C-alpha cells in the first residue's frame, strides 16, 4: 500500500506540472520555481509534513519535496543555532542531494558521448 500511495501522490504532482505546461504560458523553469517555492511555503507552515507522512517518497522526490527539505532544514537550524540558522539550514539540508546531482551529472558527461539528432 505504501508504494501505491507514493505512486499516486507523485503522479498527481507530476500531472499538475504537465497541466501547467499544457494549459498555461508558464515556462518549465517558472513551473520548477513554483514547485520549489510551494514546497518551501507548505513546509514552513507545517502542511507538507502530512503529505510526507502519507506518501513518503511520492512527496519527497518531486521538486516540492526539495522545497520542503529546504524549509525543514532552516527550521531545524534556527531551533539549534538561532538567527544564523536562517542562512545555513537550507544548505545543510540539501547538500547531499545537490552533491549527488553534481557527481552523477559529471559522471554522465564523462561516460556518454553526445550525438547529433540527425
pLDDT surpasses 90 at 22 = yes
pLDDT surpasses 80 at 17 = yes
pLDDT surpasses 90 at 23 = yes
Distance CA 111, CA 75 (A): 39
C-alpha cell at 4: 501505491
Q: Work out the end-to-end distance of the chain between its first and last CA atoms, rounded to an integer number of angstroms.
A: 45
Could you tell me which of 58, 60, 50, 62 has the C-alpha nearest to residue 9?
Answer: 58
Distance CA 8, CA 57 (A): 11
Global pTM reads: 0.76
Length of the chain: 118
Mean pLDDT of 7-17: 92
The predicted pLDDT at position 31 comes to: 92
pLDDT tens, position by position, 29-71: 999 999 999 999 998 888 988 988 998 888 888 888 888 888 8
Amino acid at each position: 500500500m505504501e508504494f501505491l500511495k507514493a505512486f499516486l501522490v507523485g503522479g498527481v504532482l507530476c500531472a499538475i506540472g504537465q497541466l501547467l505546461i499544457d494549459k498555461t504560458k508558464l515556462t518549465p523553469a517558472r513551473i520548477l520555481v513554483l514547485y520549489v517555492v510551494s514546497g518551501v511555503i507548505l513546509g514552513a507552515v507545517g502542511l507538507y509534513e502530512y503529505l510526507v507522512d502519507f506518501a513518503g517518497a511520492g512527496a519527497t522526490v518531486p521538486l516540492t519535496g526539495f522545497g520542503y527539505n529546504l524549509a525543514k532544514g532552516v527550521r531545524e537550524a534556527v531551533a539549534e543555532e538561532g538567527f544564523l540558522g536562517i542562512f545555513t539550514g537550507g544548505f545543510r539540508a540539501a547538500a547531499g542531494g545537490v552533491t549527488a546531482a553534481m557527481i552523477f551529472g559529471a559522471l554522465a558527461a564523462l561516460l556518454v558521448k553526445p550525438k547529433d539528432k540527425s
